[in-house]
Amino acid sequence: MAARQTPYYELYRKSTVGEALTDTLDDMLQNNFITPQFYEKMLNQFDKSINEALANTVKTKITFKGNLHTYRFCDNVWTFIIDKAEFKIDDPQKPITVDRVKIVACDANVNETATGGR
């Protein structure tokens, strides 16, 4: 019996480090240094590792405020577009202000969400 694959969110593949990994793996695949199966295995491991690292090691709290431009909830994923957003970090530093930011918030219990809570 094959081991059950645990699903992880793939949204970090669009981060700077995720795109660098994908570009490198693409080059390696095109030059026949790796197989398509290894390519997929590496991306799945990246998804797992980044999700677990963020869940278990990041302890910084951030608060933000701004003008809500758009919001959406679909497939247990919230998407917010916020104008004139101001972010404050736990560390008493000057707030960071941006004209517009997109925030994507996913359910931390992806395993329960993916299986319908079973």
Residue 3: what pLDDT?
Answer: 46
Q: What is the pLDDT of residues 38-55, one digit of tens each?
A: 999 999 999 999 988 888
Q: What is the pLDDT of residues 17-38, one digit of tens each?
A: 999 999 999 999 999 999 999 9
CA distance 5 to 45: 11
DSSP state of 6: P
